[in-house]
């Protein structure tokens, strides 16, 4: 039984074919970073049109690679939210069209659920987390701490009150004159800087709960830049500011993770996902917090931490295994779609 997954919720067009055990038979991904870079961020209308351009041929190629015809697929899954509505409509309606044409069941997948279950994919070079575990999702569009209690059973413990973590990296990188997406470039610049030079705020540090906030920190960086005469905006100034910013984010995240773990005494593992999880300083700080508390930190390979379609097909497989029915073709796309705690 082969399952097709489609992901179009943001700026990655992706599809994948998995067999029922979760083995990957085909995996395709096209990043639109170059399309959006001139605008310094993802432009929703450009993203939706690019998905539409890329997806049909990409799905065809994936099916050929997997050696399956559309008519023989056991299920067709697409991300139906949360995300940019135009892209969601392109991917979900493509999947629904295929489901109508082939009679295969359709699964409308929650993007956050897909990120949450990725670490359970068999064959990864990481230990498979047992339920319940804690997911820290830190990407360009999402910042969330989610208790993963089982398939279909999630509870959001915290989220950001303003900017997403990756968004903060990208905005600060822009202030420092780095190209979009700025996260990786900022990390490289920070490596040459002195993190103790600038006293920046540690958002939410010590506050109750598990929510994040990044806009105040970003504003503090902007004020530092604005207060500095152009002649003094040297590379070492930028590197010190990048390092100071990164340290503030690291400390804030470590604090939030510690609080979430305290709320989940039965949890054995912390799973990270999202592009920001590529950051080495963040990773090692999170690993320290987890270890201090006797939990392990599990980081799936980066290509599966960022947006991809393997996780979408896998989420459908997990749902089928858990006995969850497929979704009606009338299932809507949902730009906002929270994983709510059980009552
Ligand atoms: P979504 O939020 O829908 O999952 P996205 O495309 O915004 O999608 P990802 O592709 O998971 O998110 O991650 C991209 C984000 O990760 C960008 O904001 C980027 O700057 C950030 N990022 C990538 N590498 C690093 C790094 N080494 N340090 C900090 N941030 C990073
Ligand atoms: Mg992306
Ligand atoms: Fe994502």
Phi–psi pair at 246, nearest 5 degrees: -60, -40
Return contacts of 123-128, CB within 8 angstroms, 24+ apart.
123/22, 123/23, 123/24, 124/300, 124/301, 124/304, 125/301, 126/298, 126/299, 126/300, 127/269, 127/296, 127/298
Percent of the chain with pLDDT over 90: 94
Q: Which ligand is nearest to the CA of 274?
A: 1
| Rounded mean pLDDT, 66-83 | 98
Determine the Cα–Cα distance for residues 308 and 35; give it in Å rounded to an integer.
18
C-beta of 170 in contact with ligand 1 (< 6 A): yes
Q: Check whether 257 has a pLDDT greater than 70.
A: yes
| Rounded mean pLDDT, 219-244 | 95
| Rounded mean pLDDT, 185-199 | 98
3-class secondary-structure state, position 228: coil
The ipTM is 0.98
Work out which ligand 1 atom sits closest to the CA atom of 140. 7
C-beta of 81 in contact with ligand 1 (< 6 A): no
Q: Which ligand is nearest to the CA of 41?
A: 1
The DSSP bridge pattern shows strands 2-7 and 12-19 to be antiparallel
Q: Check whether 320 has a pLDDT greater than 90.
A: yes
Percent of the chain with pLDDT over 70: 100
The mean pLDDT value of the chain amounts to: 96
Segment 290-317, tens digit of pLDDT: 999 899 999 999 999 999 999 999 999 9
| Rounded mean pLDDT, 79-107 | 98
| Rounded mean pLDDT, 156-182 | 95
| Rounded mean pLDDT, 202-206 | 92
| Rounded mean pLDDT, 49-73 | 98
Higher-confidence residue: 180 or 259? 259
pLDDT band at 258 (very low <50, low <70, confident <90, very high): very high
pLDDT band at 177 (very low <50, low <70, confident <90, very high): very high
C-beta of 5 in contact with ligand 1 (< 6 A): no
pLDDT band at 343 (very low <50, low <70, confident <90, very high): low
Q: Check whether 103 has a pLDDT greater than 80.
A: yes
**pLDDT given at position 232:** 87
**pLDDT given at position 100:** 98
C-beta of 91 in contact with ligand 1 (< 6 A): no
**pLDDT given at position 281:** 97
- Give, for ligand 1, the residue of 11, 166, 277, 312 to mutate: max count of ligand atoms closer than 8 Å to Cβ: 166
Segment 116-137, tens digit of pLDDT: 999 999 999 889 999 999 999 9
Q: Check whether 79 has a pLDDT greater than 80.
A: yes
Which residues have C-beta under 5 Å from ligand 3, the single-atom ion?
139, 307
Q: Is the dihedral of CA 55, 58, 59, 60 positive or negative?
A: positive
């Amino acid at each position: 039984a082969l399952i097709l997954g489609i992901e179009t919720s943001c700026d990655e067009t992706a599809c994948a074919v998995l067999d029922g055990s979760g083995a990957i038979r085909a995996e395709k991904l096209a990043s639109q970073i170059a399309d959006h870079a001139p605008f310094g961020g993802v432009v929703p209308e450009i993203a939706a049109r690019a998905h539409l351009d890329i997806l049909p041929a990409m799905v065809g190629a994936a099916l050929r690679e997997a050696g399956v015809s559309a008519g023989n697929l056991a299920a067709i899954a697409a991300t139906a939210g949360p995300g940019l509505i135009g892209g969601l409509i392109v991917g979900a309606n493509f999947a629904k069209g295929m489901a109508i044409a082939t009679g295969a069941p359709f699964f409308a997948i929650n993007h956050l659920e897909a990120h949450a279950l990725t670490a359970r994919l068999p064959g990864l070079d990481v230990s498979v987390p047992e339920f319940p575990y804690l997911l820290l999702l830190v990407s360009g569009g999402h910042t969330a701490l989610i208790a993963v209690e089982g398939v279909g059973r999630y509870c959001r413990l915290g989220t950001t009150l303003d900017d997403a973590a990756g968004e903060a990296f990208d905005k600060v990188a822009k202030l420092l004159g780095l190209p979009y997406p700025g996260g990786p470039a900022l990390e490289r610049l920070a490596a040459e800087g002195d993190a103790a030079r600038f006293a920046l705020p540690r958002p939410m540090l010590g506050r109750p709960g598990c929510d994040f906030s990044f806009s105040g920190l970003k504003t503090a960086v902007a004020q530092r830049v604005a207060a500095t005469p152009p002649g003094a905006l040297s590379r070492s100034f930028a590197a010190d500011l990048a390092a100071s910013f990164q340290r503030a984010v690291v400390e804030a995240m470590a604090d939030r993770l510690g609080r979430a773990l305290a709320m989940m005494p039965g949890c054995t593992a912390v799973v990270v996902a999202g592009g920001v999880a590529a950051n080495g300083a963040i990773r090692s700080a999170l690993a320290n917090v987890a270890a201090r508390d006797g939990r392990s930190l599990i980081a799936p390979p980066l290509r599966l931490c960022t947006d991809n379609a393997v996780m979408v097909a896998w989420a459908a497989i997990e749902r089928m295994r858990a006995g969850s029915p497929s979704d009606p073709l009338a299932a809507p796309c949902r730009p906002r779609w929270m994983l709510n705690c059980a009552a």
